Structure 1
C-alpha cells in the first residue's frame, strides 16, 4: 500500500529526520538509506519498520545534522606550512624573490587546509534516532489507514456488484434451458415427421443440454467466495492481501467456467462485467498487506 510518513527528533544538539515512502510490491522489501558511518544501526531501524510494513516496498531515508553546529571543521597542517615557508625563504635570495608567500596563497596549496565533516557516534545516538523512526512509522500508518478505508469501501461495493451479477445469471439460467428446448422443438417440427417417441427425444436432448449447461454449483461457490471475502475484510486483524488474492483467483475461475458452460449472450455479458470487476479488485488487492 502506498504511503508516506515523516518523523523528526532533536536531541543533544542533533536533529534526526526520518522519511518513509511505501509503494506496492508482492513481498516485503525494505531499503534503508543511512548517512555514511551509520550502518551499525541498520538492523535496529529495520526492527522498528518491519512490523509496520509487512508487504510492499519501503524506502527509509535517515538524515542526521547538527543544530547550531558547523557541518564540518577546518584545520591547518602546520608542519607542512613550516616546510613550505622554509623552502620559500631559501628560494627567495636564490631567485631574487622579494615578496614572501601570503596566507591566502599558502591555504590554496594542496594539503595545507584539512576539511573534516562533523562526525557523530551512532551507538550513543541510537535512542533518539529510533524515536524519529517510530514517529515516521506512526505517520505512515495513519496515512495507510485512510487509504485502507477507501480500499475497503471500494472492494465492498464491487463485491455487491458481483452478487448482483450472480443473481442475474441465476435468474437467466433456466430461461436458457427453456429457450434451447423451444428451439429444438421447432427444428424437430420442421425436419422430422411426427411419430411416436419424438417428444422423448426432445426431452432427452434438453436434459443433456441442461446437464452440460448447469451452472448452479459454480454460482453457489462464487457466492460463497464473495461472502468469505466480506468476512475477511471485516473481521481480520492480520495481513490479508494474499488471502484476498487467492479468493479473487477462485472467483475468476468460477466466472470463467460459468461463461464457458452457459452458451448464452446475456449470461456472457454478465460474465464480462464480473471479470471486469474482478480485475479491478485484484488491482486494488495488490495495495493491501
Structure 2
C-alpha cells in the first residue's frame, strides 16, 4: 500500500508545507527532510509521525515558502555614533562653530549602520509546522483507510474461497481413508508375500498407518485460524503482523496435509490453497 498526504499552514507571508509519502515495510523506516535551521524539530516531528505509523517506509518533507523579501535589518552602531557626535562637539568647541552636531552630519559616516541577517527561532514556529504536519498525517491516514478497506474486502473473499476448499477436503476425508486403507492393505499383502501373520495384527497395523495419515486435526486448526483471521479483520487496531503470523500457520498446516495425503485431488487442492494464502500474504503487507 502506498499513501500520500499534504498539509500547509500560513502566517503572514510565510507558508510551511508538509508532504508525507508511505509504502509497505516490515518495520517503521522513517526519513525526515528539513531545511537546515529546522533540524532541531526532527525529534518532535518523529514523535508526531509515530503516533500514526507503527510500520512502513515513511518519508516526511518540510518546506518553507517565505515571501518576505526583507532578509536583513539595519542595526545602529550606537557606540560609534556616540564617538562621532563627541568628535563633532569637540570640533565645534575647538573652532567656535555655530552649528550644533546633528543626525544629518553623521548619518552617512562609515560603519554607522550595519545589516544583520534576520533569524527566527524554529521552536517559535513549531505550532504552525505542527498544524501543517497534522493535516498531512490526516490526509495520509484517509488514503490508507480507503486502501485498507479495499484490501480487507479482498481478503474476506479469499477467506471464503479457502473455507470452501477446506469444506470440500473435509467432506472427502471418509473416502480418502477408505482408499488409503485399501492401498495399504494391497501393499502389505505384496510385501508379506504369504507370510503367516494373524489377520487381526494385520488389521491393527493398517489402522495405525491409516491414523497417521488422518488430517482431521490439521483441518480443525486451519478452521480455527480462519476464524481468528476473521476476528482480526474486524478489529480497529494494527493487525498486519498478527495476520502475517496466522498465514504462516496456514502454510504449515497445508504442507502437513499435502505430505500426509498423496492423492492427485488433494495435491491440487493443496496447490490452490497455497496460492490463495500467498496472495493473502502479499495483501496483508498493505495493512498496518
TM-score by length of 1: 0.77
Distance 1:181 1:40, change over 3 A: closer
2:262 is aligned to: 263
1:244 is aligned to: 243
Question: For the Cα contact (< 8 Å) 1:213–1:263, is it kept in 2?
Answer: no
Kindly state the Cα deviation for residue 41 of structure 1 after the two structures are TM-superposed: 1.3
Distance 1:124 1:217, change over 3 A: same
SS of corresponding position for 2:54: coil
Rounded Cα–Cα distance in structure 1 between residues aligned with 2:258 and 2:33: 50
SS of corresponding position for 1:177: helix
Bigger shift: residues 259-268 or 120-129? 120-129
Kindly state the Cα deviation for residue 173 of structure 1 after the two structures are TM-superposed: 2.2
Kindly state the Cα deviation for residue 117 of structure 1 after the two structures are TM-superposed: 8.6
Question: For the Cα contact (< 8 Å) 2:177–2:214, is it kept in 1?
Answer: no
Question: For the Cα contact (< 8 Å) 2:239–2:287, is it kept in 1?
Answer: yes
Q: CA RMSD in A?
A: 2.8
Rounded Cα–Cα distance in structure 1 between residues aligned with 2:286 and 2:122: 35
SS of corresponding position for 2:61: strand
Bigger shift: residues 45-54 or 19-28? 45-54
Which string of whole-angstrom CA distances, capped at 9 and with x for unpartnered residues, describes residues 226-260 of structure 1?
000100111x2221111111111111111111111
Task: Return the index of the structure with the highest Cα Rg.
Answer: 2
1:225 is aligned to: 225
Question: For the Cα contact (< 8 Å) 2:185–2:206, is it kept in 1?
Answer: no
1:155 is aligned to: 155
2:59 is aligned to: 59
Kindly state the Cα deviation for residue 202 of structure 1 after the two structures are TM-superposed: 5.8
Rounded Cα–Cα distance in structure 2 between residues aligned with 1:129 and 1:196: 87
Distance 1:155 1:18, change over 3 A: same
2:271 is aligned to: 272
Rounded Cα–Cα distance in structure 1 between residues aligned with 2:182 and 2:146: 55
Bigger shift: residues 6-15 or 222-231? 6-15
Rounded Cα–Cα distance in structure 2 between residues aligned with 1:217 and 1:64: 62
Rounded Cα–Cα distance in structure 1 between residues aligned with 2:22 and 2:165: 35
2:29 is aligned to: 29
Taking the TM superposition and a 5 Å limit, the aligned residue runs for 1:194-233 are: 198=199, 200=200, 203-233=203-233
Taking the TM superposition and a 5 Å limit, the aligned residue runs for 1:100-111 are: none
TM-score by length of 2: 0.77
Distance 1:117 1:261, change over 3 A: farther
Gaps in structure 1 of 5+ consecutive residues: 76-115
Rounded Cα–Cα distance in structure 1 between residues aligned with 2:28 and 2:229: 23
Gaps in structure 2 of 5+ consecutive residues: 75-115
Matching of residue 133 in structure 1 with residue 168 in structure 2: no
Kindly state the Cα deviation for residue 53 of structure 1 after the two structures are TM-superposed: 1.3
Rounded Cα–Cα distance in structure 1 between residues aligned with 2:140 and 2:118: 31
1:91 is aligned to: none
